[in-house]
Structures are given as C-alpha cells and as structure tokens.
Amino acid sequence: MLRIERILCPVDFSVFSARAYDYAQSLAQHYQAKLFLQHVFDFNLPAYAYYVPASYVVELQQELHKDAMLQLQEFARRPVDYGAPPERILNEGAAASTILGFAGVQAVNLIVMGSHGLQGADRISLGSVTEKVLRKACCSVLVVRSPEHDFVSPGSGQDPVQLHKILVCTDFSECSKTALEHAISIAAEYHAELSVLHVLEDMPASKDLQSTTQPLLARLEQALPPEARWRSTIITKVRIGKPYIEIIQEAAEAKSDAVIMGVRGRNALDVAVFGSTTHRVIQLGPCPVLAVHV
C-alpha cells in the first residue's frame, strides 16, 4: 500500500514553483501528509569583495534572509488556500544538496518541484537543480515542467489539481511494479482513469500485430491486483516503437494529466544514462511526470 506521509516542495517563487505547489498541496490533502515548503538561498560574495567590511556582509546576509522569509510566507498563501498550511523552511546553501539533505533528514516520501527546462529535441537540461535532485533523491520526485494546465482549477478552498487521466508505463520490471502501485493509489484518490502502457521496441518479423500484442495485454491484466478496478477505470495498452517517443505520443493523444514511471535506483538518471526513457519523457512530455524510485 502506498504511503505518502511527508512531502517536500522546494520553491524559487517562479511560476513553475507555483504550479508545483498546486500539486504538493493537493497530494498532501489527499494523503493527509505533512507538507514542507522550502526555499534555499545561496549567499555568495564575489571573490574580489574581500575588502568589504564584515559588518556590512553580515547586515546584507541578514537582510537577504529577512526578505526571503517574507517572500516564502507570501508564497505559502498562494495560489490556493487548500488543506493544512505547510511548514515553511528557509535554508542557506547550495540548492540541490540542501534540498536532498533536508529530504533525507526528514524522511520525505515525495519531492514535488518545478522545472525551468525548455521543450525541444535539442534540449538536455531540465534545470540544474531539478536534474541533481532527480539523480540523487532517495524518494520519488514529481517534476512539473509546464506552467499551465487546463485541469488546474484555482479558487479558494478547492482542490488545486484535478487529475482525470493518468498514464503509467511498465516494462514488467520491479521498479515498474512499484510505479504501478503508485499509479493505482493516485488514480483511486483522484477518481481518475488509469492507462497502463507497455511499449515493445521491436516487433518480431515472423509475427503479426495481434499475435504479438495479445500476450502482452494479458500480462498487463495479470499485473493488476484484483481490487485495482474497484475505484478506477483501467485501460491496458501496447504500443510498438521507441519507448520515450511512444510514451510521449500516448500521453499527448490521451490528454493525460500525469505520467508515472519507475526509475531503477538512485543513479538511474545519472550522466551515463542521461538519454534514458524517464529523463526524455520528463524533458519532452506534455504533462508532469512522477519518477518513482525503488
């Protein structure tokens, strides 16, 4: 059974962070989880500033800290006052390592963060902080890249996120099994339709489409626990082609509100496999992606 008890939402006060905060608030309310709203500022003087009086440096640092806390307090009240208020956390240091350190100490189950990455086949970067957190996090990470979505319904007292269609991808591995458990739970919480997708990269030349896909569809059905259909409509699908391309295409065609994918361990998004399916779907996909770490 999926347990989300502690959610961390790092913010930089951008529109991307505002979208991520929507998701964090909504998930915290649905799972009755504690929500941490964190801002990290890095106070670094240029190397040539050695002649600046120490008292001035301390005063400047205190002013920056005060201003950041005021912004964080104001941000916590927007865009929607929904559910219990978050615990506001202000830290100083390098953003990625500070976020990861806090998540580890607080035993966070889920990190929800925005990404400034731009869409396009020639783009590799999702934003340095987001990438570093994705690579090193010990928990699952929900990346909200797009600043606007039709299913977000602002309004005081309302759930800021309305998920109607969720896509979960599986290659029948152990990490895919964990991703499916997350997807079934989240779909049930939001009363969303769940599509379970397997992508076959190469179809055997000796077989036709039906004889190839039918056993895979049957295997997808077998992977579903009996109680999964009690609270959600579940559709199983098989596509043939390059995995990340087919996943993105399916999400676009089905107008999915979120994609859920398994990640093989802490270093599965590291530089050696930066062309991974999960990374490319996060980078190029049409909706937020939950990368589930085993």
Q: What is the pLDDT of residue 198?
A: 96
Average the pLDDT over each of 14-28, 134-148, 239-253, 273-287 and give the range with the smallest value: 273-287
Q: Please answer whether residues 96 and 13 qualify as being in contact, where contact means their C-beta atoms are separated by less than 8 angstroms.
A: no
To the nearest 10°, report the CA torsion of 144, 145, 147, 150: -70
Q: Please answer whether residues 99 and 8 qualify as being in contact, where contact means their C-beta atoms are separated by less than 8 angstroms.
A: yes
Segment 28-36 mean pLDDT: 95
Give the span between the Cα atoms of 18 and 8, in whole angstroms.
14
Every domain range in the chain assigned CATH 3.40.50.620: 1-156, 163-287
To the nearest 10°, report the CA torsion of 115, 120, 123, 129: 0
pLDDT range class, residue 123, cuts 50, 70, 90:
very low
pLDDT digits (tens, 9 = 90+) for 168-217: 999 998 889 999 999 999 999 999 999 999 999 887 766 778 888 999 99
Please state the length of the chain: 294
**Half-sphere exposure of residue 157: CA atoms within 13 angstroms, side-chain side:** 0
Segment 88-102 mean pLDDT: 93
pLDDT averaged over the chain? Answer: 83
Give the span between the Cα atoms of 145 and 164, in whole angstroms.
18
Q: What is the pLDDT of residue 3?
A: 85
Edge-to-edge strands, sheet with 289-293: 87-92, 34-41, 6-10, 110-114, 140-144, 289-293, 258-263, 165-169, 193-200, 234-240
Domain 1-156 has CATH 3.30.70.260: no
> Which homologous superfamily is 163-287 in?
HUPs (3.40.50.620)
Asked if residue 65 has pLDDT above 50, the reply is: yes
Asked if residue 127 has pLDDT above 50, the reply is: yes
Is-cis flag, bond preceding 79, omega within 30? yes
Q: What is the pLDDT of residue 247?
A: 97
Percent share of the chain, pLDDT over 90: 51
**pTM of the predicted structure, to 2 decimals:** 0.85
